[in-house]
Structure 1
């Protein structure tokens, strides 16, 4: 045996072990590289990259493995591959790659689906990835039967008359041949054809006159490029390792002379192409090891949206809707997943184009762009089980709150807060309760008990908004934030969404998830927190104003318990929350019971105010002036199901005061078994 070392690359490149015998039984031994007749047999010692393997071992270990190879070959143990056939080792001889699905070609060959009856060959269409030269790579996508050939050929001819800069405008045909007798070959391939004469011999030994076949194909108009891609399918006695079939495919590439097939000489060089499976939905799901999200509509394809969309797409989700009406502008390059090649294009359309190129081997018809404002969406909601809003738009949130969504659709919202220090992800609960506005306002209220949220809300009040002018006009600004900061939160959101979307719909509660990136002490510190949010109790206004009052889980029970505990005397206090005039909703998150100075009797309750303004101001301070006083509550222990005369008088006085704020006037009546809401503007 010979040991071949590179004088310039050793020890970084692995040596090779070669045979010095011309009669070395190559065809009967697996784990050999595919060499020409004038090259010595070369042993394959490891399935993976030999140079990486050699970087971890000593030369003595390398020689030991070579000795084990020879021992196994001599004792008949080398070919034991679990009942499967070991494919030909092409490493070191590959000039370029050929991308196709093994199953696509295997099915056609297995079923003997010939292009023309007299030739054991099939025609496939694809694209040449690189335009010229020996390193041109190909991608084969679809089988073309003879009945469809004229249509495809004419379409290609028309395409080639236009702009051919785009890869999709660089089509090619691939020709797949097989043994006409269906013979099985059990011997390993040992002699690599290095020129056209040897390739013709390779084919003729398997019953095919290659030159005559190529002349026939050229006459039909199937050969129109100098680069000629040929695949030969060899039927093996067992399933080929790593694939679901018994056929092994060897990929050849010939560069035709200007005269075409007739000008081919026996000395024309023949190159090998390595086979690579295309990126597919199945491959993406396997490689990402991530829970598969259902059909998803993304509203907003900006910096955050684009990252979430591509995380989802790269994990194998090809049922995607992307809604955005904005175009890609130069300043977007700082954080957007699109590149300068897409400047001026609609963001949704450009992302769809990029993702569809990922999945050339799959049906990508359900990856669609919606180039409109979200508030015009309607029937589109019927197609999706997830809606993910990354717009940070109150208008969009209000629209989605008011929209009747399918019962199996869940609404999520993601946003970055506190100049990138916080990421907030919200997920509605079952039957849209808690609703998105419940969750968004709850995040503000929780600043009263969560330090990270409190810092955000306080900072929000005092922060000078840092923006960068990107053009003339009052709206031509963009926020200042590093791409990696945005990317951190987007990655966390993506993992959260993958988990949240796999929950059983009938049992899900709402979710408020917080990702934190704290850089106040030097190196960044990261953390996440998840808050389970139970359904809100919803009360419709008894006065007919159209308002509704939404009580955070537990408030209803607390009010009833307070009333029953103080009965038969009346008790009461104030409601803490926020009102939204657009949606005519009051959200209640807390109570203050019997402020100092309050007193109740069997027939009335007088609410005190000692210390109350300071207590309310502290809540407002902690929540960034968002959450505060929002109404009154008191009990009717005698079970009066409505407003008393005194209640109506008090409400009239409050309406005058509240209009100066302005907030609606809300009065909550607590009976022994029921809550009654009265709201007036």
Structure 2
């Protein structure tokens, strides 16, 4: 049995068909007619035809190409099938009508579900056509279909719609084009600046000479006038039927555009171009072109374009120019494809983000390998309002892992921030800024901060991997009154661990709190601890010249990307869905036996801050889990005093002691109604283990105990604190007292 015989047999078995004709070969393809009983609406059944013109029995011609069975058959309906229905492919008068029965590829449908599925789609299409349900306004307006256009016009639909005059006049603007064999590929000038006196020009290109041509032509943008604040809404679907100048003017009239005005501007443009003394129309061997874009207000948003209910319909007008008869206007017109120009709106739509969300202003501190990759991911997702801050230039070895690969041929190494700005400009982000500056100075100087960080910024991302910047950010006074939230991205262990931190609203949780929490997490999670430790705790000196070295971590570009992409995804979610109301610590650990990373997010409520004036003044920052554990233990023991040891991080630069965890009281501790004595059995070993498990980041910083009846530190408490301070080697020691009304803190240093 041949492939066609097999198809014929399948069609005869299909229950939705009332007749299957014999296969007939026409021009190398096989045609099989099938009769399809159509389920008409009840009110149309007596007449045998629906209000939309669909009959009770419709004959469909299936054209099996020579590529069958690798290629699906194409369905065609009778030549007089009604054309005022959506989802009909362009065709010429007198030909069979080609319905668009499937949103995707019929070839893919065939190979996924078989020939029956193709026939089912035709049956379903006819049923919906009979019921007038080919357009579902709940899904959006179906744009006018164009499947066989020789021309493509590139422009931003949103920006053109905004530029289209609303008073009935016609905007004349410029387009650059290339043409070959009657087709046009053109870019409308992105600013849509008016150019009423524009004349056509054309330069012959290619070999043999004149194989193709390029130049500039006029683009005319027209829409129906807005009257009394109300746009002219066109709610009737019209298939594409424009084939000449008269039908173009007729389509304009049907859409509310003044026919005579459009005809006049086209005529003036032709005459102006042909008789311009600077032009030689004898060289216009490819013809004289004009572009017309009709802007139409639809009743609902377009399918695939949420939020935009304006449809754009571009056409190409081609005049054959005869130098002997310049007054004779021989014009042909054909519809053109619209292709979105590269614009933030297109990037956002392609990435699935609402355009409004991508207008937020962002600041990136550090444009190195990690920062550049996160920035470019966000830029390609439509987020273009960046201020890039970096004071370093690109070195050749940076290109091993940097997102940018521009050639460095100048005398001076290009600044990383400037290169990021240039890359964003190529992505159509015109508002990106570059600051050649040090992140520390930006965070430390209020005036500098005000110059760099926009007042309405949403997020500041620190991707410097600098501990100095972390310290500066921790105590940065300008951040206190800033609307922007601070985030920090970093990699550890040669890229085996990636960390993204987000401060809480109003800095109720800071990046230094989250950094300390990360290493507290190491104490209880061996996988995180091993990943952060990596093979070495120190950067490696990589030789970048015969006598030059650079401190860096030797990891591949792919490893950096493995961390950067999930971080960018999380940031996108924060920006689109709204920043969370808590601090966030996102930890990614490379899978030992796989290629990806496993991510965990820890949400952190506000930190408890106790300020003390002793020893020059310190802020003791107590992470929520610690405060909750102390409170739970104190209430468990009730009237008896209890306590334990404190683990944390001391920062002299910020005059901050961050308490991240506890070591439980040893079993030989004494709890009484008037006193708590911390035991010693195993205490030193447990403290050393906490220090080691936190990779040396955290240490013993003091003790805590409860006062069930309240009250400040007693004399005995002070003496105990002094004893701990003597053994601390010059480090400050903390004594934290739980009372029913809150925590009290004392600090001593020997």
TM-score (norm 1): 0.73
Q: Is the 8 A contact 2:166 2:224 kept in 1?
A: no
| Aligned residues of 1:128 and 1:137 also touching (Cα < 8 A) | yes
My pick for the range that moved more, 551-560 or 123-132, is 123-132
Equivalent position SS for 1:94: coil
Distance in 2 (alpha carbons) for counterparts of 1:29 and 1:600: 86
- Aligned to 1:340, the other structure's residue is in SS state coil
Aligned to 2:621: 550
Partner of 2:440: 375
Residue pairs, 1:10-21, within 5 angstroms: 10-13=68-71
Residues 285-324 of structure 1 mapped to structure 2, 5 A cutoff: 285-290=348-353, 292=357, 294-324=360-390
Aligned to 2:744: 675
Question: Helix, strand or coil for the counterpart of 1:575?
Answer: strand
Q: Is the 8 A contact 2:319 2:330 kept in 1?
A: no
Q: Which moved more, 1:57-66 or 1:671-680?
A: 57-66
Match of 2:463 in 1: 390
Equivalent-residue separation in structure 2 for 1:65 and 1:667 (angstroms):
76
Which of 694, 699, 707 is the aligned partner of 1:628?
Answer: 699
1:413 aligns with 2:488: yes
Q: Distance in 1 between matches of 2:415 and 2:622?
A: 41
Q: Distance in 2 between matches of 1:28 and 1:503?
A: 41
Measure the CA separation in 2 of the matches of 1:620 and 1:368: 43
DSSP-derived class of the 1:677 partner: strand
Tell me how far apart the structure 1 counterparts of residues 629 and 124 of structure 2 sit (CA, whole Å). 78
Q: Alpha-carbon deviations, 1:400-420, whole Å to 9, x = none? A: 111121353321112222222
The within-5 A match list for 1:206-225 is 208=263, 210=266, 212-216=268-272
2:406 to 314, 337, 340: 340
Aligned equivalent of 1:449: 524
- What does residue 163 of structure 1 align with? none
Choose the corresponding residue for 2:423, options 335, 347, 354. 354
In the alignment, the residues of structure 2 paired with residue 10 and residue 504 of structure 1 have an alpha-carbon distance, to the nearest angstrom, of: 51
Alignment match of 2:586 (pick from 500, 513, 521): 513
2:724 is aligned with 1:664: no
- Asked whether the equivalents of residues 493 and 533 of structure 2 are also in contact (C-alpha less than 8 Å), the reply is no
2:464 & 2:175 partners in 1: Cα distance?
Answer: 38
Q: How far is the alpha carbon of 1:476 from its aligned partner?
A: 1.9
Greater Cα offset, 327-336 or 543-552: 327-336
Alpha-carbon distance in structure 1 between the residues aligned to 2:554 and 2:313 = 53
Q: Structure 2 stretches of 5 or more lacking a match?
A: 1-23, 30-64, 202-213, 226-231, 252-258, 443-448
Worse-superposed segment, 125-134 or 92-101: 125-134
1:60-86 superposed Cα distances (whole Å, 9 cap, x missing partner): 8768877998x899x987896469997
Q: Secondary structure at the match of 1:626?
A: coil
The whole-number CA distance in structure 1 between the counterparts of 2:237 and 2:739 is: 88
SS of equivalent to 2:383: coil
Deviation readout 1:132-163 (Å, 9 max, x if unpaired)? 995643134233346xx69x99xx9xxxxxxx
Q: TM-score, normalised by structure 2?
A: 0.68
Q: 1:247 to 1:112 in 2, by over 3 A?
A: farther
Q: Secondary structure at the match of 1:91?
A: coil
**1:3, distance to aligned residue in structure 2 (A):** 6.0
Aligned to 1:176: 220
CA RMSD of aligned residues (A): 5.3
Shift of the 261–278 alpha-carbon distance from structure 1 to 2, 3 Å rule, reads farther
Is residue 273 of structure 1 aligned with residue 336 of structure 2? yes
Contact persistence 1:106–1:247 (CA under 8 A): no
Does the Cα contact within 8 Å between 1:178 and 1:234 map onto a contact in 2? yes
Query: Would the alpha carbon gap of residues 581 and 132 (structure 1) be closer, same or farther in structure 2, given more than 3 Å must change?
Result: farther
Partner in structure 2 of residue 249 of structure 1: 313
**Whole-Å separation in 1 of the counterparts to 2:237 and 2:740:** 87
Give the distance between the partners of 2:156 and 2:574, measured in 1 at CA: 35
Alignment correspondent of 1:436: 511
SS in 2 for 1:391: coil
Secondary structure, in 3 states, of the residue corresponding to 1:98? strand
Q: 1:189 to 1:646 in 2, by over 3 A?
A: closer
